[in-house]
Structure 1
Amino acid sequence: MDLGEILSILRSRWYIVVPMLVLALGLGGATYAVVPTTYSTYTMVSLLSAPAATQTATQGQDNPFLNFNGSLVATADFLGRRLQSTDTVLQLKSAGLTEEYEVALAENAQGPFLTLTLTGDDRAHLLASATQLAEYAEKTLRDIQLENGVAERDRIKLTQVIPPQKPKAETKEKLQPVIVVGGGTAALAFILVFIVESISRARRRRAAGPSEKPVAAGAASVTPDIEGTMVIPIPPAPVQRSSAPVARSKPSSIEAEKTQRIVVPPRTAAGAAPAEKPKPPHGGPGEGPQTGRSGMARTYQSNGIDRRGQNVNRINGS
């Protein structure tokens, strides 16, 4: 089935294609309107060294931004795993943070930077939840150090690098169900068209019945092969009668005393001299085979069997 035939079938079954396409558009639009729009925002925080570690590393200067060592990156990874634990998620949900969030180290970062990403369908509440998550991260870091008896001057602190950004609509999340519903309905339309066309063709074949036509005698008939090819039997060519004499086969089981060999002289070609007439074996006029015209032979009656020739009253050997 080529493209032209497919388009022809779709055009002939327009009463199925058009309503189904309209239905697909309607369902796609309804899905787009019903599915809520998802928004996302993010904020970024960074860990800072303790005052005692900063003064030691910077020779008495109390500036934490001058000291981003490897231990802070490990502490940031520890804090991110703690924030994504099941217990922390339940605590935040009970506190009113219902959006989904993800905490991970910032990509291509060379310091202890954590990115807090939140997704939800309420833009105003999403911004408040981002601020709440950043504050909870700072509180969790402080509580962990207090539980381990870390002194105030030796505690790692947390600061906000990027505040919560304006929420952006996630069009991909909303278009996926629209494509599934609309595309599925359109595909169902094409399937229905070909099902109806197949049923219609089957009914036409049954209504038409066998369409075999009588073949005239001697004419070539065309029959379909099981492989889908056409076999054309050719009638045998008529046998041309030849004017040349046909040699008779020698009898296989005939008694010698009841037979008489008949010698048939060959016909002479046109313009050739006639062959010498054979003489009777005994010189008598009535003995031996008598011949008439050139190439013709006469038979005898042998033991009472009619050979359909002249001198039928003679008996072999008499």
Structure 2
Amino acid sequence: MDFWGTVLVLFRRWYVVLPTFTLAVAAAAGIYSTIPTTYASSAVLILTTPTTGGSLPSNPRVPNGLTNPMLNFDRGLSISASILIAVMGSPDTATELGAVEGGDTAFKVTNGSSNIESLATGPYVFIEGESGTPEGAKDIVTRVIARTKAELVNRQEAVKAPKATYISAYEAVPPTVPLAQRGRKLRAVAAAVGVGVVASLFMAFTVESFVTNRRLRREAAARKAAETSASANHSQKASELNGRLPVGGPVVRP
């Protein structure tokens, strides 16, 4: 069936399409109201080296020259960032920070890329927090930042790095103002409306098929009845004609 044929069926069976689609819209409204609105906040950390570099001078009398940490990025900072991302992404860390599975608070620590396998892409740590309230979203981001900085210090202490060479985490983007996230609600509504459209088409063509089949059966029954009536009339007329004819052969007179 072509497009205009489908439109014609929908218009002809509007009394089925309209209630079905109305129920779908009502279900979408109910879904939209039941899914809670969440709020998201984010922050970006940049790992930097000290102004004197990542090593101590071999001769204390000749100290290292001072450098701009923002101009002193190397591969080591990218590796350190990837270590922090892996540590902060563990389930134990999430539980300790209160982001339990199934709760309304969650966070994500990435390098800004959707490719999980390429962690060491730069000295950047992207933090995203989500919660049921604006305050909760900003609070989880603040706590993740504090924990990331603490983990950075702990990892350097574990390898016994000189404190003068410690890497620091600079908040390039502080926790942002939480914004309402309605994408999940809108996707659920779109899915419900899509199901409603499909259901409306299904009901319209089901009723169309039922009505068409019933009409064809009635027409077939009417034709059969007409044929039966015509056959009966023909038999009756033949009987009447046979009744008027004389019985036996012709009479012969002498």
| TM-score, normalised with respect to structure 1 | 0.59
The correspondence of residues 288-307 of structure 1 with structure 2, limited to 5 A, is none
Answer whether contact 1:9 1:197 (CA < 8 A) is retained.
yes
**Secondary structure of residue in 1 paired with 2:129:** strand
One-letter code of the match for 2:214?
Answer: R
CA distance in 2, matches of 1:155, 1:4: 72
User: Cα 1:56–1:63, aligned 2, differ >3 Å: closer, same or farther?
Assistant: farther
CA distance in 1, matches of 2:173, 2:87: 21
Equivalent residue for 1:72? 77
One-letter code of the match for 1:103?
Answer: V
* Total equivalences in the alignment: 212
User: Cα 1:80–1:3, aligned 2, differ >3 Å: closer, same or farther?
Assistant: closer
Deviation at 1:50, TM superposition (A): 4.0
User: Cα 1:64–1:54, aligned 2, differ >3 Å: closer, same or farther?
Assistant: farther
Deviation at 1:63, TM superposition (A): 4.9
User: Cα 1:201–1:87, aligned 2, differ >3 Å: closer, same or farther?
Assistant: same
The correspondence of residues 1-150 of structure 1 with structure 2, limited to 5 A, is 1-50=1-50, 53=53, 59-61=64-66, 63-93=68-98, 99-106=105-112, 111-150=122-161
Q: What is the aligned counterpart of 1:195 among 206, 224, 237?
A: 206
Deviation at 1:184, TM superposition (A): 0.7
Higher helix content, 1 or 2:
2
What are the Cα deviations for residues 189-220 of structure 1, in whole angstroms up to 9, with x where unaligned? 22111111111221222222264899xxxxxx
Extract unaligned runs of 5+ from structure 2.
58-62, 114-119, 228-254
1:155 is aligned to 2:166? yes
One-letter code of the match for 1:144?
Answer: R
Answer whether contact 1:43 1:116 (CA < 8 A) is retained.
yes
Structure 1 vs Structure 2: percent identity of aligned residues? 25
Equivalent residue for 1:268? none
Deviation at 1:148, TM superposition (A): 2.4
Deviation at 1:31, TM superposition (A): 1.7
Answer whether contact 1:40 1:118 (CA < 8 A) is retained.
yes
The correspondence of residues 156-195 of structure 1 with structure 2, limited to 5 A, is 156-195=167-206
Deviation at 1:105, TM superposition (A): 2.1
Deviation at 1:121, TM superposition (A): 2.6
Answer whether contact 1:21 1:189 (CA < 8 A) is retained.
yes
Q: C-alpha root-mean-square deviation of aligned residues, in Å?
A: 2.9
Deviation at 1:116, TM superposition (A): 0.8
**Secondary structure of residue in 2 paired with 1:190:** helix
The correspondence of residues 165-314 of structure 1 with structure 2, limited to 5 A, is 165-209=176-220, 211=223
**Secondary structure of residue in 2 paired with 1:53:** coil
CA distance in 2, matches of 1:13, 1:85: 56
One-letter code of the match for 2:171?
Answer: Q
One-letter code of the match for 2:129?
Answer: L
**Secondary structure of residue in 1 paired with 2:215:** helix
Extract unaligned runs of 5+ from structure 1.
215-318
User: Cα 1:94–1:200, aligned 2, differ >3 Å: closer, same or farther?
Assistant: closer
One-letter code of the match for 2:206?
Answer: I
CA distance in 1, matches of 2:26, 2:64: 71
Between Structure 1 and Structure 2, whose CA radius of gyration is higher? 1
CA distance in 2, matches of 1:133, 1:67: 25
One-letter code of the match for 1:40?
Answer: A
CA distance in 1, matches of 2:214, 2:13: 16
One-letter code of the match for 1:145?
Answer: Q
